[in-house]
Amino acid sequence: MRDSTTEADARINIDDMLRRAGWDPADKLQVTTEQVSSSGGYADYVLLAENGRPLAIIEAKRSAIQPYSAKQQALPYAQEMKAPFIFLSNGELIYFWDYANDDARMVNSFFSRRDLERLKEMRSTRKALATIDIPEYYIRQDESRIVRPYQRETMQALDHAFELGRRHFLMELPTGTGKTDLICLYLRRLFKAGWVERVLFLVDRDQLATQAIGAIQDILTEYSSYWLRSGVARQEQQITVCLLQTMIGRYPQFSSGYFDVVIADECHRSIYGAWQTALTHFDAFHIGLTATPAAYIERNTFQFYRCKNGQPDFSFPIQQAFDDEYLVRYKFATGITVLLAGGAEVDDEEYDPLEFERTWTNEDTNRKMMAEFDRLAWENYRELASKQKIGPGKTIVYAITKQHAARLASYLNELHPERNGRYAEIITSDVANAADIIRKFKNEDYPQIAVSVGMLDTGFDCREVLHLVMCRRVRSPILYQQMRGRGTRTAPHIGKREFVIYDFFGNHEYFNDDDEDIFTRTRGGSAPTVPERPSKPPRDLVELGLEDEWLNAVRYIEVGQDGERVDKREYVSKWKESIEDLAADDSIIQKVRDDRPLLKEEEEKLQQRLNSPAMYFNEDNLRRAYDKPGGNFIDFIRAALGKLRIKSREEELTENFRAWLVTRSLTLEKAQYLSLLKNRGIVTGNIELGDLFDPPLSVLDAAGQGVDLFGENGLKEIIEDLNESIFRRKTA
């Protein structure tokens, strides 16, 4: 009786999960139950195609049984009914089995009827990838581009992975070597060969989304695509571009089988916590793109992409890209004022950008930095690019804070009054027309100089850049290489030979970087100087967007172009008041309140209207104020209206833990044991090996159970993995 009741409970959960995937368990044209086989047994559920033929069977088990163990019981039923797919479930876990091609694997949801019909069709009609030629050249931005040897080699390696039945692939290509173009060319091969119908392209910045959708619509003109924004209705297109921050809230709207391929750009930032949830939900071929050298890709990224020996599946070293002239080399300006010598430390554990700026800069030093850069840039820009007509050439200035950026831009414009304030422009999240300024910087003569905090560090593509000006300290090796990469793109139309880095804070000395022995390795160009990370972080170092500052360590945010300091709680309170007041008359906010999808133009109009004086309500500021790096603009509006409860830390960690489990093939006993450790980690902030020997875990003999399940070394490794993947802490 007890087992029967438990199985009945499992079936209730299975029915609910089927409904979420678009099935109606009560409709016998979609789902039949307990269909008897010739052997006298029966299939618990049979999922039917539109033509009434079986697509999949579901073998249901009580919750105490690991579903994977029911494979051989389910297989004869599926074969007799000619159902190509099998699901195994105990009402909590789901396994999907394409038994003619793969082993059963854990998935996050049942597949929809459309998913299964699509998979069945593709299995029967797809061509060998070798029958699709790799092109010699392609058209991009109205110019003919040659497919480079390393791009061809990457596509051949991907072919091999697909045909071997692999489901993960990680590629490392330096910034500027055409990762997005390469993936577009490869998607065309997959579409032509009939291996894919639906693709998801995930990024974590608006700039990356803009560039991705531009490349897709330029190279893959014959395939439909769109950008899925946070408040906009889902479309049934072949290629979906989406921000990770948006997908975190939208992924429950998709079944696990909806996409055939999921591409994560700068994927080393996507394998943690809530980010991973948005990836692991989809049972697809996962392709990771990164410009980060293998030495800095953490273990869980390699684990997610199933890489062997801690190496990407394909790698093209930056030094090779320089040697082959696919990238432009750099040099450092010499003889300039260095405000912060290499090795100097300023309270790394509690890094407050505003206090750092006050300590290390003032009006005199800021003016001196800008004057030195401007003089040198005007002297050498023709040597850097012989066809550059307007001086000093496109420049990115990296500032410490928004207020610092405003001052630096002002001083630059004072040096060139004849340009009427258009010589240098500020580009931060609080500039209402930031996208328009970026467009002008890329395509028009002025501004020549973009001064920014955060927005142009990564994911920004302007190949005409000749000067990078570092007016801030950088201690993240990943961020340093990303910033440096903004200048490496080739630009033959201006005769670009090299670019210059003006490093006023000695960052390249910190990383032992020079133009002959470039910094790419774990310990720098020639010799180690400092540890890679702070040794005793009191809070998690958040590398969202690769910012090397403590998101939770400061209780304020900077708002406005002058960087006014506003307490986070006060900012959230004013946000709520403003949205509640506007909801009475604003038709767009009313649509959000009523859960009606917005048009793209409506969402953009709303963002522009709210990102204006005096509070500068925008997504970036709201993420910081709420301490929710995965939040999106529409969800923050819904939260202000009481339509959405911002998840607690415990809820987020539990959800992230479930996503992490999906990436591991674990027995039920191991999963239950790790759930116990996860609960301890939620209380204490991370898990120490010593916790297993203290109450309450010692009462349960957690140490003994862990050694029995994983072995001594395996237990240490799994605890370290939990800390890094879920709690974002290094195990002491």
Tokens of 373: 């850069």
Contacts of 147 (CB under 8 A, 6+ apart): 134, 135, 136, 137, 138, 185
**Which residues, in sequence order, are bridge partners of residue 243?**
203
| Among 132-136, 400-404, 429-433, 524-528, the range of highest mean pLDDT | 132-136
pLDDT in tens, 203-233: 988 888 988 999 999 999 999 999 999 888 8
Q: Is the Cβ–Cβ distance between 636 and 576 less than 8 Å?
A: no
Q: Is the Cβ–Cβ distance between 682 and 634 less than 8 Å?
A: no
Crossing angle for the helix pair 668-684 and 702-710, nearest 10 degrees? 130
pLDDT at 550: 41
pLDDT at 57 over 70: yes
pLDDT at 538 over 60: no
pLDDT in tens, 110-144: 999 999 999 999 989 999 999 999 999 999 888 88
Least confident of 148-162, 373-387, 538-552, 620-634: 538-552
pLDDT at 66: 83
Please report, rounded to a whole number, the percentage of residues in the chain having pLDDT higher than 90: 49
Rounded mean pLDDT, 142-150: 92
Tokens 């980010």, located at residue: 275
pLDDT in tens, 291-324: 887 777 777 788 788 888 778 999 999 999 999 9
The residue among 359 and 236 whose pLDDT is bigger is 236
pLDDT at 330: 95
Per-residue CA distances from 644 to 159, 630, 631, 641, 664 (Å): 43, 15, 12, 8, 31
* Phi, psi at 445, each rounded to 5°: -65, -40
What rounded mean pLDDT belongs to the chain? 85
pLDDT at 714: 87
The residue among 686 and 20 whose pLDDT is bigger is 20
Tokens of 630: 């995965």
pLDDT at 720: 84
pLDDT in tens, 286-299: 999 988 877 777 77
Other beta carbons less than 10 A from residue 81's beta carbon: 18
Torsion angle of C-alpha atoms 703, 706, 708, 713, degrees rounded to 10: -100
pLDDT at 698: 84
Crossing angle for the helix pair 600-610 and 633-640, nearest 10 degrees? 70
pLDDT at 559 over 70: yes
Secondary structure of the chain: what % helix, strand, coil (to 5)?
45, 15, 40
Contacts of 713 (CB under 8 A, 6+ apart): none
> pTM for this structure?
0.84
pLDDT at 523 over 50: no
pLDDT category of residue 348 using cuts at 50, 70 and 90: very low
The residue among 662 and 106 whose pLDDT is bigger is 106
pLDDT at 665: 65
pLDDT in tens, 653-705: 777 787 777 667 677 788 888 888 888 888 887 888 888 888 888 888 888 99
pLDDT at 392: 97
pLDDT at 242: 94
The residue among 114 and 534 whose pLDDT is bigger is 114
| 498-503 vs 329-332, strand pairing mode | parallel
What b/e readout covers 545-584, taking b as 16+ CB neighbours within 10 angstroms?
bbbbbbbebbebbbbbbebbebebeebbeebeeebeebee
Rounded mean pLDDT, 327-331: 95
pLDDT at 641: 93
Helix (H) or strand (E) holding 564: strand 564-567
Tokens of 649: 């830390």
pLDDT at 543: 34
Q: Is the Cβ–Cβ distance between 59 and 44 less than 8 Å?
A: yes
**Which residues, in sequence order, are bridge partners of residue 385?**
496
pLDDT at 477 over 60: yes
pLDDT at 268 over 60: yes
Tokens 């960052």, located at residue: 507
Helix (H) or strand (E) holding 451: strand 449-452
Least confident of 100-114, 309-323, 373-387, 551-565: 551-565
Least confident of 70-84, 306-320, 521-535, 689-703: 521-535
Residue 49 is classified by DSSP as -
Least confident of 57-66, 290-299, 308-317, 450-459: 290-299
3-state DSSP call for residue 105? strand
pLDDT at 340: 63
pLDDT category of residue 468 using cuts at 50, 70 and 90: very high
Helices (H) and strands (E) in the chain, counts: 25, 23
Longest CA span, the chain:
90
Query: Identity (one letter) of the amino acid at 78?
Result: A
* Phi, psi at 13, each rounded to 5°: -65, -40
Burial of 123 (0-12, 13-18, 19+ CB in 10 A): middle
| Among 108-112, 268-272, 523-527, the range of highest mean pLDDT | 108-112
pLDDT at 467 over 70: yes
Rounded mean pLDDT, 35-51: 84
Tokens of 314: 């394909």
pLDDT at 87 over 90: yes
Rounded mean pLDDT, 430-449: 90
Query: Identity (one letter) of the amino acid at 451?
Result: V
Radius of gyration of the chain (CA): 27
The residue among 644 and 413 whose pLDDT is bigger is 413
